[in-house]
């Protein structure tokens, strides 16, 4: 009996993913544990392994397809001893998958033949779009269609649910696809040069009225950017932010860091660890949350979630956005362990190779822009966290000690809190505990 391979849910919130690459081809024999393909989610690219044995009878979804729904059919395996051709034709669609729309090479030509009143295209019968209705298409497909002067509504979609994807536009262009409908004549009044007022959620067309033709390019939002926008908008709209800042002297911490790094053992001619200031910040925040457990919380409508460990997320900048890999139970780990874990997580984050459990959850977060020369800033709370610590640059400043002006290395840190869970006094207590560990760093070694 044919074995259906479906799009897996790689995280609890995943609804769709992009099938980036097939690592097998039709006719290949696969065993349980063999990697079949790479799936792109909003935060990472993950390998999908086979749980069954058999021969790849059919690759239903081609590599590069965007927006494949969870549980949609992506491939069919023929079991051992089963006829491959029969399995390829007999594999059934899953409830979430739709039959592939018929492909017709004549579709673009038909649309071109009647530009004034486009006739229905046979290949579009399975697509959700119809005359006067919305045409479902990927952002990349829309951009390519616009650049080629193709009317996107006249292109036959072969993506999920009849969605027009990149290859459909390329096929239409190669076949001389329908030209876009003539644009409305530009207004000749003086009002034509005035910026168009924008409503909330304005379309691309409304926004672009404010810019001269040819002065911009359109870059489609990828899944990561959409997720970041959605979560941060939700955070600022639903979480009452409260901010507390304090200056921390770094001289003792820098001296201890230098001493620890100088004494690090070597392996193959390289030190087995090399602490950064950020590693010590992570440890200090984790210990501060241990000392002030009422601040190690998350808010829900019915309960205050009090966490037993400090799982510290660390913002890492990657192409197109950022991700927050998590150091679990950071209050229990040595500085060298935190340092090596962070280096591994950071490297895999930049390659988008993190597993969902390595960046989802956590109880707090650190965002360090000090290494970029930023003096101070306020970060946005990342739900379900109730706190996030923004780290500014360490710099030499004049401070007063015992009535004398002296030079000290100082950094400004700002704690953003969800005021429903951590109010001003509690936030100040947490920040005070953090400052003590930074300025008396030997306490992190106990």
Please identify every residue annotated as catalytic: 419
- Work out the end-to-end distance of the chain between its first and last CA atoms, rounded to an integer number of angstroms: 62
The one-character DSSP state at 384 is T
Rounded to whole angstroms, the Cα distance separating 184 from 201 reads 23
Rounded to whole angstroms, the Cα distance separating 242 from 417 reads 5
Chain centroid to CA 57: 33
Q: What share of the chain is helix, strand, coil (3-state, %, to 5)?
A: 30, 25, 45
Angle at 169 between CA 160 and CA 218, to 5 degrees: 95
Residue in the structure block whose two tokens are 């490297």: 347
From residue 72, give the alpha-carbon distance in Å to each of 42, 96, 99, 411. Answer: 18, 5, 10, 51
Angle at 207 between CA 203 and CA 210, to 5 degrees: 155
* Helices 277-291 and 424-439: angle between axes, nearest 10 degrees: 130
**Among the listed residues 77, 83, 123, the one whose alpha carbon sits nearest the alpha carbon of residue 100:** 123
Rounded to whole angstroms, the Cα distance separating 132 from 268 reads 68
């Amino acid at each position: 009996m044919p074995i259906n391979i479906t799009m897996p849910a790689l995280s609890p919130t995943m609804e769709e993913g992009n099938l980036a690459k097939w690592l097998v081809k039709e006719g290949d024999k696969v065993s349980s544990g063999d990697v079949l393909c790479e799936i792109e989610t909003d935060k990472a690219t993950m390998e999908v392994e086979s749980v069954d044995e058999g021969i790849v009878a059919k690759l239903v979804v081609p590599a590069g397809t965007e927006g494949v729904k969870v549980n949609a059919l992506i491939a069919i395996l023929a079991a051992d001893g089963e006829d491959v051709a029969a399995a390829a034709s007999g594999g059934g669609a899953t409830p979430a998958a739709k039959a592939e729309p018929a492909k017709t090479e004549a579709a673009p030509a038909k649309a071109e033949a009647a530009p004034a009143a486009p006739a229905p295209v046979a290949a579009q019968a399975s697509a959700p779009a119809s005359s006067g209705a919305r045409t479902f298409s990927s952002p990349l497909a829309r951009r390519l269609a616009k650049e080629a002067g193709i009317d996107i509504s006249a292109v036959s979609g072969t993506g999920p649910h009849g969605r027009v994807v990149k290859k459909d536009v390329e096929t239409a262009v190669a076949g001389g696809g329908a030209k876009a409908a003539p644009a409305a004549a530009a207004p000749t009044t003086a009002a034509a040069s005035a910026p168009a007022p924008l409503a909330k959620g304005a379309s691309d067309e409304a926004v672009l009225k404010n810019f001269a033709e040819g002065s911009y390019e359109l870059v489609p939002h990828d899944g990561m950017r959409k997720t970041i926008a959605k979560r941060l908008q939700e955070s600022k709209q639903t979480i009452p932010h409260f901010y507390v800042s304090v200056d921390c002297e770094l001289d003792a911490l820098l001296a201890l860091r230098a001493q620890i790094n100088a004494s690090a053992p070597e392996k193959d001619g390289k030190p087995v660890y090399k602490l950064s200031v950020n590693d010590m910040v992570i440890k200090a925040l984790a210990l501060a949350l241990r000392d002030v457990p009422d601040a190690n919380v998350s808010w829900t409508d019915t309960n205050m979630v009090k966490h037993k460990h400090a799982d510290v997320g660390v913002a890492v900048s990657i192409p197109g956005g950022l991700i927050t890999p998590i150091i679990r139970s950071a209050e229990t780990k040595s500085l060298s362990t935190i340092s090596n874990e962070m280096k591994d997580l950071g490297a895999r984050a930049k390659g988008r190779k993190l597993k969902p459990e390595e960046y989802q959850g956590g109880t707090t977060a650190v965002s360090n822009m000090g290494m970029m020369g930023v003096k101070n800033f306020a970060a946005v709370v990342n739900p379900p966290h109730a706190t996030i610590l923004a780290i500014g640059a360490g710099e030499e400043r004049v401070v007063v000690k015992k009535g004398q002006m002296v030079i000290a290395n100082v950094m400004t840190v700002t704690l953003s809190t969800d005021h429903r869970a951590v109010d001003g006094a509690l936030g100040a207590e947490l920040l005070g505990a953090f400052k003590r560990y930074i300025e008396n760093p030997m306490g992190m070694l106990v």
